[in-house]
Chain A
Amino acid sequence: MSHTVLVVEDDLDVRQALMEVVEENGFAALGARDGAEALLLLARATELPCVILLDLMMPVMDGASFREAQRRDPRLAPIPVVVLSAYRDVDRHASSLDAVTVLAKPPSVRELVDVLRAHC
């Protein structure tokens, strides 16, 4: 099973912080700054990530649109998605996205690592 985590997050500092947490805990990290870039990365990838950490509010292509496109693609659809959002009521915003986990920002590192371990 792949040990790569795809971090889809528009804020550079948050993306880098998340990627560092991923890497410091023994996984490989790939970063994309919006849904469109993430789809491009996934299209080119020879090995698919074990989990996608997905932000919701992003320019170009937001989290919901990315998830829609991902679910339509049979190759990408099985990759579990963890929604990570700074929305106050993140559960409500993520309710239709069928994510394996929904985490409010800022997530606790332990919580995040537990989720990664469960799926990678």
Chain B
Amino acid sequence: MTSSPSEPDIAHPESSDAAGFRSVDERFRALVSSVKDYAIFMLDPSGRIETWNAGAERTKGYTADEIIGEHISRFYTPEDLARGLPAKLLAQARLDGRVESEGWRVRKDGTRFWADVVITALVNDRGELMGYAKVTRDLTERLRAQEEQLRLAHAEEAVRLRDEFLSIAAHELRTPLSAVQLQLQALLERPEGLDPRTRAKVERACRSGERLVTLVDTLLDVSRMTTGSFNLVLSRFDITVAVQEVVDRFREHAIRAGSSVTVRSEGVLEGRWDRLRIEQVVTNLLTNALKYAAGTPVEITLTGTEHDVTMMVSDAGPGIPPSEQERIFLRFERAAPMRNFGGLGLGLYVARQIVEAHGGQIQLAHPVPKGAHFVIRLPRSHSPETAG
């Protein structure tokens, strides 16, 4: 193959090429000086800088004019200078021929970068030290990525440990509650029956036990929701059936609250949702309605379009003042004063988290003539990957 006039003449290193380089040596020097990712420079035997390339300027911030003739200790941190690191590294390179180290170095502007440094001793035929070649790579980004990876791994481990603890804590709390509930229920179910006063007492104890179980579950849920480790298990079902089941479970509760609960639905309204979670939303809204609007009728209306289902839970109680309407969906918040109503203040927060995890929305309808009207819109199908 014949070299074209514009290409460097590799076969004849001594001949001049198009760029004007006369020797391999010159070409090599040109190559080194143009390298931008590595700081490559030479030092005299005392450690003073003799050459400087583009990578060195880019990494350390000095121009050749500024730095040639200066000692390499310029690049070291005060801590490393105090322990004599530059001299130690040069001595080791001289002894072993080469030394490699990683550490913080200082740029012209005072900022630090994490450097991978190789210092090679340059020795002539007679074994005399001629100087050093120093190659420095800026590994700050890699270090940061490693640190970030480590931080993420620690965070994931912390979440896993917390989830495990919560799971065990919930299990341990539920176990004695199970014994209590089973004994109380067994008393109520005795074939010989109980006298009315005893029955009323046992029923009250039973209800309190149920509330304790719900509180344990709610605390566990909230903890998972706040850290994002809350997953949906989707299945296809008719939301009207699910809502009706919750309402049936609330029958006695509604009677005690002096409220009627009516479900109106267009019929079968199917979608892919997490059934337990959707039931939890209905439970939380019904609990609120029966608590804050006791004595007024509660109505749940279900309607659907091709893409979504809308559920409205309305009562005819005191309603929620406009100033409180966003706050009530936050954790530990409530519209009613705490001295009047107990509870953790988590029901609507949990409901909103569940609805939003399904890609839906929950809000208060306004203006309404009387009471609180919660409107929930749920897409019939939602990919949990996009749920966040």
Any chain B CB within 8 A of the CB of A108? yes
Assess A88 versus B181: contact at CB under 8 Å? Given A24-B189, A106-B174, A106-B209.
Answer: no
Chain A residues with Cβ under 8 A from B209's Cβ?
Answer: 106
The reply to whether A14 and B175 contact each other, CB–CB distance below 8 Å, is yes
Among A15-23, A27-35, A44-52, the one that faces the other chain is A15-23
Give the CA-CA distance A57 to B169 in the complex, in Å. 12
A109 touches B182 (CB 8 A): yes
CB <8 Å contact, B186 and A88: no
Could you tell me the distance between the alpha carbons of A57 and B175 in the complex, rounded to whole angstroms? 10
Q: Which residues of B contact A91 (CB under 8 A)?
A: 233, 276
* Minimum Cβ distance to chain B for residue A16 (Å): 8
Provided the pairs A88-B217, A92-B233 are in contact, do residues A21 and B182 lie with their beta carbons within 8 angstroms? yes
- The reply on B15 being an interface residue by CB < 8 A is no
B213 touches A106 (CB 8 A): yes
Contact A20 B186 (CB under 8 A): yes
Q: A92-B233, A106-B209 are in contact. Are A87 and B171 (CB under 8 A)?
A: yes
Whether A86 and B181, one on each chain, are in contact in the complex, defined by CB atoms closer than 8 angstroms, is: no
Instruction: Assess whether A17 is in contact with B189, with CB atoms less than 8 Å apart.
Output: no
By size class, the interface of chain A is 20 to 34
In the bound complex, how far is the Cα of B185 from the Cα of A107, in angstroms?
A: 10
| B177 CB–A CB distance under 8 Å | yes
**Interface mask (A32-70 → B, CB under 8 Å = 1, otherwise 0):** 000000000000000000000000010000000000000
- Output the nearest chain A residue to B220 by Cβ-Cβ distance: A88
Write the nearest CB–CB distance from A54 to chain B, whole angstroms: 14
Interchain CB contact under 8 A, B167 and A87: yes
Q: Which of B243-282 contact A (CB under 8 A)?
A: 276
Within 8 A of A (CB), among B270-298: 276
Give the contact-size bracket for chain B: 20 to 34
Pair B167/A17 contact, Cβ less than 8 Å:
no
Tell me if A14 and B182 are in contact (CB < 8 A). yes
- Please report the C-alpha to C-alpha distance between residue A17 and residue B182 in the assembled complex, in whole angstroms: 6
Inter-chain contact B189/A86, CB cutoff 8 Å:
no
Q: Does A98 sit within 8 A of B, measured CB to CB?
A: no
Distance between Cα atoms of A88 and B176 in the complex (Å)? 14
B185-230: which have CB < 8 Å to A?
A: 185-186, 188-191, 209, 213, 217, 220
CB B84 to nearest CB in A, in angstroms, measures 60
Q: Is B178 an interface residue (CB 8 A)?
A: yes
Instruction: Provide the B134-151 mask, 1 if CB < 8 A to any CB of A, else 0.
Output: 000000000000000000
Neighbouring B residues of A109 by C-beta, 8 Å: 182, 185-186, 188-189
A68 CA / B179 CA spacing, docked (Å) = 27
* Contact in complex: A14, B179 (CB < 8 Å): yes
In angstroms, Cα B233 to Cα A87, docked, is 16
Listed A/B pairs (24) with beta-carbon separation below 8 Å: A11-B175, A11-B176, A11-B179, A13-B179, A14-B175, A17-B178, A17-B182, A20-B182, A21-B182, A21-B185, A21-B189, A86-B170, A87-B170, A87-B171, A88-B217, A91-B233, A105-B174, A105-B175, A105-B177, A106-B180, A106-B209, A109-B182, A109-B185, A109-B186
